[in-house]
Amino acid sequence: MPRFFVPKESIDQEKRSVTIGGEDARHISRSLRMAVGDCITVCDGETMEYDCALTSFDNDCVHCEIKDAHALTTEPPFAARIYQALPKGDKLDTVIQKSTECGAASLMTFESEFCIAKEKTDSADRKLERRRRIALEAAKQCGRGIIPEILPTSDFKTAIIEASKADMPIFCYEGEGTVPLGELIRAWKGKIGIEKGNKPEISVVIGSEGGFSSEEAKFAKENGMLMAGLGGRILRSETVAGFVLACLVYEFEL
């Protein structure tokens, strides 16, 4: 069924009704050409999703009746936060889309020493809005219960300080002094308490096409980041987020 996200105030639990407005309402009525009685899934973006039937159309609003309600079952048992150095061209679109599909809770871009791409101040707001739209559409397509938070672009040191606050802070690095990702995940699995019903935060810091400088790697390690190696092959920047998330999902969810 088509999936839509609405704020909690649009859901009336007592009347068992949902009101959908704006672009989603127009999409339902004009693009999808849905009619009264058709069914959709509505998510509150936090903990619940609802099976609904369309009951009426009113200007730019669509009204639905809640047929069933249940807790979200599509979210991983951890909150993965991706910190991605700005890649060239439209590669970031792929990172956002695949990170959303693989269960990321948020994504922050940052500028590092070897970044070729730079965030221009005069277009930053427009780009951020576009990135959030990509995350929204990917969340709808893959059946997510939440929309990953897409944050404004930051500098390297700020990104590292934020990432280091996670229960498992992973720094993807191709240089010396790393621990294989699989070994690292298994070693930290018990430490973050995921088997006790907790939902720990896992941060993943990823470099641009040129990777990280030795000074950046040193700063990350000094701030508590776990230096992780990703195997014998060098992955493209836009591949890493999906690769690491897939490893986490395999270990903790499948």
Contact 109, 88 (CB under 8 A): no
Topology (CATH) of 79-252: Alpha/beta knot (3.40.1280)
Q: Give the tokens for residue 199.
A: 């939902």
Q: What is the dihedral sign for C-alpha 187, 98, 250, 199? A: positive
The reply to whether 3-71 and 79-252 are identical in fold is no
Nearest Cα residue to 52 out of 2, 94, 93, 89: 2
Per-residue confidence (pLDDT) for residue 4, from 0 to 100? 94
pLDDT at 37 over 70: yes
pLDDT confidence band for 30 (50 / 70 / 90): confident
Residue 163: pLDDT band with limits 50, 70, 90: very high
For 72-127, how does the pLDDT look when each residue is reduced to its tens digit (9 = 90+)?
888 999 999 999 999 998 999 999 999 999 999 999 999 999 898 888 888 889 99
Q: In the predicted model, what is the mean pLDDT of residues 28-46?
A: 92
104 forms bridges with which residues in the sheet?
80
Residue 56 scores a pLDDT above 80: yes
Query: Mean pLDDT across the stretch 166-192?
Result: 93
pLDDT value of residue 59: 79
* pLDDT 10s digits, 192-215: 877 666 789 999 999 999 899 999
Distance CA 51, CA 87 (A): 39
pTM summary value: 0.91
Cα–Cα distance between 185 and 17 in angstroms, integer?
Answer: 43
- With a cut of 90, say whether residue 38 has pLDDT above it: yes
Class of the CATH domain delimited by 3-71: mainly beta
Q: Looking at residue 112, what is its pLDDT?
A: 95
Instruction: Report which of 79, 94, 112 is spatially closest to residue 236, judged by C-alpha positions.
Output: 94
**Would you kindly state where each structural domain of the chain is located, as residue ranges?**
3-71, 79-252
Structure confidence at residue 149 (pLDDT): 97
